[in-house]
Structure 1
Amino acid sequence: MIEPVSPGDLERRVGGEIGASRWFTIPQERIDAFADVIDDHQFIHVDPERASRDTPFGGTIAHGFLSLSLLTAMGAGVLPVIAGEAMVINYGFDRVRFLAPVRSGARVRARFVLSEATRRSDRELVARYAVTVEIEGGGKPALAADWIILTLLKEQVDAA
């Protein structure tokens, strides 16, 4: 369990690495399930035989959006919990780049650097994280993103 931090404590961590997530395996079954959810059945994702034969990847690869969607799970257990939070909202991304393919069966994890923490009001805190998703044994990251998270507080919390 992550010990809650005050908004002021979070603001003092700007510029520092928050941490790295646990490793997540991306099996073909997860890729296939994601393809069903988003209705994207391009062969490079769901046809191992053809992807091995007709692509430079040596097999199927995960959708970039699958890697991106795992950020929430990757952030759990790593990203700070704010004292007095009522809810946390995915506020969006200012930048996302898919840099390297994630092959079926690969393991990935995310590294989070806090690039900004700003009080928008007495009950709102915006945190911006520079996130890199690493591929185990890979030379390049799978993706890099600028992720914005809005924390709504139950009541005004001192900045301390």
Structure 2
Amino acid sequence: MSKVVINSYEEFERLLGQQIGVSDWLEVTQERINQFADATLDHQWIHVDVERAKTESPFKSTIVHGYLTLSLLPYFWNQIIEVNNLKMMVNYGMDKMRFGQAVLSGQRIRMTAELHSLVNLRGTAKAEIKFFIEIEGQKKKALEGIATFLYYFC
């Protein structure tokens, strides 16, 4: 799927209530999990101890940190949309976020996004994006919620 290009508030508004797009699949490797553990100082064994997870985890594998899954939103979002004519964009908040299913090391995930709401705040577009992080081959979502961004158009 090609990237959606937005050049103005009005173009953004036309997407209201619609699916904006779907990202590519990304494999979450054990190396990435370990790097995230190092960056966040979260070395809980269920994420980083492969041998122990094989025998003691109910998943029989290490699992991806939930916050690692969440931290991939900007990567996926940038695959789906390109917003031009901006002074800046600011992450504003997260709402109704739920982790539905653990992502196992080596599984592939992707994001589906739709424009949930859009408000014009004196020239600043407040966009609420409903997102779903899917796990390849699984029905249940890994993560879903609403990400809010402020887009300051020129």
TM score, norm. by length of structure 1: 0.90
Question: Kindly, what percent of the aligned residue pairs are identical?
Answer: 39
Distance 2:88 2:109 in 1: 27
What amino acid is the match of 2:152?
A: L
Give secondary structure in 2 for the equivalent of 1:114: strand
Partner of 1:22: 24
**Offset at residue 153 of structure 1 (A):** 1.9
Q: Distance in 2 between matches of 1:115 and 1:86?
A: 23
Q: Which residue of 2 aligns with 1:50?
A: 52
Secondary structure at the counterpart of residue 55 of structure 2: helix
CA shift for structure 1 position 2: 4.9
1:67 aligned counterpart, secondary structure = helix
Q: Does residue 88 in structure 1 map to residue 93 in structure 2? A: no
CA deviation profile, 1:89-148 (whole Å, cap 9, x unmatched): 1111022111100000010000001001111112x1110011000000112110001100
Q: Which amino acid aligns with 1:147?
A: A
Higher strand share: 2
In structure 1, runs of 5+ residues without a counterpart are: 155-160
Distance 1:68 1:133, change over 3 A: same
Q: CA RMSD in A?
A: 1.3
1:144 aligned onto 2:129: no
SS of corresponding position for 1:30: helix
Superposed CA offset, 1:47-77 (max 9, x none)? 0111111111111000000000000000012
The residue number in structure 1 matching 2:114 is 113
TM-score (norm 2): 0.94
Deviation at 1:38, TM superposition (A): 0.8
Count of residue pairs the alignment pairs up: 152
Q: In 2, distance between residues paired with 1:126 and 1:145?
A: 16
Instruction: Please give the secondary structure, in 2, of the residue aligned with 1:86.
Output: strand
